[in-house]
């Protein structure tokens, strides 16, 4: 019986570090974020879950954009170094989705789109990224 050797992903720890840095930068730039999150959750007691308030959307936009840019950069690093090459496509399309989500939330925050456009837009973008990622993975099967 053949034993499969699990490929170690040395960039995983680096990604976690970048995630923490992005989270810290968001917290530094939006110091009231924790109290705003608590207030938002407390508002659920009255009427149930509701849309994220605008004062939380901007930190979310920066968080999504930062992680999206990192995912695209990570995909490029994987392509150049050859570390965990099988994750190149998922990192790239995941990063693109985070950037699109960030853009859609920004459009919502500045009142260019409504909530009835934002939510389906996020779902359509997610579906498109999954479909395109799967198609790209299928076409490049065996080459990565």
Kindly tell me if the per-residue pLDDT of 2 is higher than 80.
no
Q: What is the pLDDT of residues 52-61, one digit of tens each?
A: 888 999 999 9
Domain ranges of the chain: 13-139
Burial of 111 (0-12, 13-18, 19+ CB in 10 A): exposed
- In this predicted model, what pLDDT tens digit does every residue of 62-95 receive, in sequence order? 999 999 999 999 999 999 998 888 899 999 999 9
Contacts of 78 by beta carbon, 8 Å cutoff, 6+ apart: 11, 84, 85, 87, 88, 91
């Amino acid at each position: 019986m053949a034993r499969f050797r699990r490929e170690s992903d040395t960039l995983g720890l680096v990604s976690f570090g970048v995630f923490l840095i992005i989270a810290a930068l968001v917290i530094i730039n939006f110091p009231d974020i924790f109290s705003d999150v608590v207030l938002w959750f407390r508002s659920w007691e009255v009427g149930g879950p509701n849309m994220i308030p605008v004062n939380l959307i901007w930190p979310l936009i920066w968080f999504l954009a930062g992680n999206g840019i990192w995912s695209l950069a990570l995909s490029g690093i994987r392509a150049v170094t050859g570390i965990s090459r099988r994750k190149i496509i998922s990192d790239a399309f995941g990063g693109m989705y985070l950037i699109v989500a960030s853009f859609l939330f920004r459009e919502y925050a500045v009142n260019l789109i409504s909530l009835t456009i934002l939510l389906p837009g996020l779902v359509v973008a997610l579906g498109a990224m999954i479909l395109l990622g799967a198609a790209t993975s299928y076409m490049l099967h065996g080459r990565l």
